[in-house]
Amino acid sequence: MSTVQRLGLFARISDALWRYPKHVFWILALPPFLWFATIYAAALIALGYQSLFQAETAAAGGYGVSFTNYLDLLAPKNMTVLARSVVMATTVTLAVAIISFPLAYYVARYSHGKWKTLFYFGIMIPLFTGYLVKLQSWAVIFSSDRLLGEAFSILPIGFTQTTSHWGTFLILLHIALPFMILPVMMTLGRLPRAMLDASADLGAHPVQTFRFTILPLAAPGLVIGSIFTFSLTFGDYIVPRILEHYGPLLGQSVSQLAIEQGGASLAAACTIVPLIVLLVLVWIAKKAGVFDAP
């Protein structure tokens, strides 16, 4: 004789949670989905709207779509700003990659146990140290009552109009450094030792091992680090403004426009174009499998 046990409400809910994974998925996913969908859609619509419907035409009572903002972007003077920003971001990214690689390689390959933990610690702390804390450090280094006396005045950096790009370069480099070190360190940490030994056994010169074994295997980390570094540097507007960079960088001009009265529509156009370009670049990187976590 089998007795069919009647289940209480509690148990039935519990069973339902197990039985309908699709429904559970949507119950869980709905709040974050709504949050992000709202913000992303709103951001794209707002930027598109502001850049296409010019401030002047709206004030005049007309509702015309106009591409003047986008045509304005193509003006030679704006192209110069763009080129300058790309050059700055690229050089900083390259320099950061070169400086971080030996450190990342050393920690990933040669440090063990307690030391390794300590080194990871040492990277995580600057990674999360605030942007303005780092900036204040440089303000101290460059300031007139400087602690280091005249040491830094010998170097071609500081607040003067002609050399401020070195200062900008140096500060951006310092800010971006941990964002490159960590991903490179992670990928190098997974580097199989046997592969390096095999390369050496087969007669490769250490330089060849580096070029054909280490570098390709470290590439995903380098790409992620470069995306972060480029993005941080390209989008920065505070450092060049404070150092009075000799010519404005993109972020600097856009941030100026965005908070000015009546500049919002051009600022929106200046934002939506790099936004789309960067998304396409990141999408390409994603297609290449950079973000596929192991």
Per-position DSSP letters for 205-261, written without gaps between them: -HHHHIIIIIHHHHHHHHHHHHHHHHHHHHT--HHHHHTT-SS--HHHHHHHHHHST
Q: How far is the CB of 258 from another protein (least distance, A)?
A: 5
Look at residues 8, 217, 204 and name the one whose alpha carbon lies nearest to residue 101: 217
Please identify, using beta-carbon distances, which residue of 82 and 177 lies nearer to another protein.
177
Residues 233-292 that bind another protein (CB under 8 A): 234-238, 242, 251, 254-255, 258-259, 264, 267-268, 270-271, 274-275, 278-279, 282, 286, 291-292
Q: Does 120 bind another protein (CB under 8 A)?
A: yes
Question: Which one of 63-71, 75-83, 107-115, 159-167 is the stretch in contact with another protein (CB under 8 A)?
Answer: 107-115
Q: Does 189 bind another protein (CB under 8 A)?
A: no
The tokens 């148990």 sit on which residue?
11
Look at residues 58, 62, 55, 59 and name the one whose alpha carbon lies nearest to residue 262: 55
What length does the chain have?
Answer: 294
Q: Are 85 and 231 in contact (CB under 8 A)?
A: no
Please identify, using beta-carbon distances, which residue of 178 and 221 lies nearer to another protein.
178
Question: Which one of 61-69, 122-130, 157-165, 207-215 is the stretch in contact with another protein (CB under 8 A)?
Answer: 122-130
Q: How far is the CB of 191 from another protein (least distance, A)?
A: 13
Q: Does 201 bind another protein (CB under 8 A)?
A: no
Residues 146-165 that bind another protein (CB under 8 A): 146-150
Residues 52-91 that bind another protein (CB under 8 A): none
- Greatest C-alpha distance within the chain: 96
